[in-house]
Amino acid sequence: MSDDLDTVPQFRSDVTVDLVRSAAADSDVVWAARVSTAGEQSLEALQQDPEKSTGLINFLMRDRHGTPFEHNSMTFFISAPIFVFREFHRHRSGWSYNEESGRYRELQPVFYVPGADRKLVQEGRPGRYEFVDGTEKQHAVVADSMEAAYQASYRAYQEMLDAGVAREVARAVLPVGLFSSMYATCNARSLMHFLSLRTKAENAKVPSFPQREIEMVAEQMEAKWAELMPLTHAAFEKHGRVAP
């Protein structure tokens, strides 16, 4: 038996988001919008205090003039389970993705197990259901079942690799709770659309009911974006979290 077969799996209940690169500021919204009326003088908006343009940013958000919110860029490095990425990659417009490959690298045994605060029980009907806390016993069943299944599947994966089978074939046994990593690049407009669908907020004009794990990613992205573009973020909140 190879050393690889003794690899100890890791179980995580968190997701991580790092902002690795950004060119994004409230003033980017202002100069892009001001070209309508000021032409080449719109770049002077770069020198101005963006606070002075709070009214303009709110107007653009409220009336859904979306394009001035596209002239910026944020790149995030995200570690999350594969089932989160399956949902994430449905967001097509204004997003670029690159993810680690199960063909070119041996996938690491890092798996998702819900934490103690993850609500486990679904009540109600689809589209109108709520999640409530699980009992201690339910949490124990979830952790035991997931860990046993993860260990068995990773062992099968390694047995195949050990026998000389290609990674792209062996990976078929790995579950969607396996962690993956990717870069995701977006702009404020595409991020707002994502946030409107992948977070649950009391003040949302159009409520959404996302899976908690993608919401955990979305919340971290939103916090980083709000630091870069506080006025735009405040306008998004004020106008009911509707992407312009």
How far CA 239 is from CA of 58, 162, 204, 244, in Å, comes to: 8, 56, 8, 10
Query: Which residues does 133 contact at the CB level (< 8 Å), separation at least 6?
Result: 119, 120, 121
Residue 198 Cβ vs ligand FAD, minimum distance, rounded to whole Å: 6
How far CA 188 is from CA of 31, 80, 111, in Å, comes to: 15, 22, 31
How far CA 176 is from CA of 80, 83, 244, in Å, comes to: 10, 5, 33
Question: Is 64 among the catalytic positions?
Answer: no
Query: Which residues does 164 contact at the CB level (< 8 Å), separation at least 6?
Result: none
The residue among 47 and 93 lying less far from ligand FAD, judged by its C-beta, is 93
Q: Which residues bind ligand FAD (CB under 6 A)?
A: 90-93, 193, 197, 208-210
Residue 210 Cβ vs ligand FAD, minimum distance, rounded to whole Å: 5
The residue among 142 and 242 lying less far from ligand FAD, judged by its C-beta, is 242
Instruction: Name the phi and psi angles at 81, rounded to 5.
Output: -65, 160
The residue among 196 and 220 lying less far from ligand FAD, judged by its C-beta, is 196
Catalytic hit among 171, 198, 212, 241: 198
The residue among 77 and 95 lying less far from ligand FAD, judged by its C-beta, is 95
Angle at 130 between CA 126 and CA 133, to 5 degrees: 135
Contact 79, 181 (CB under 8 A): yes
The residue among 9 and 210 lying less far from ligand FAD, judged by its C-beta, is 210
Residue 93 Cβ vs ligand FAD, minimum distance, rounded to whole Å: 4
CA distance 34 to 229: 17
Q: What is the DSSP letter of 69?
A: G
Residue 72 Cβ vs ligand FAD, minimum distance, rounded to whole Å: 17
**Closest by CA position to 25, among listed 51, 59, 64, 58:** 51
Residue 108 Cβ vs ligand FAD, minimum distance, rounded to whole Å: 28
As annotated, the active-site residues are: 198
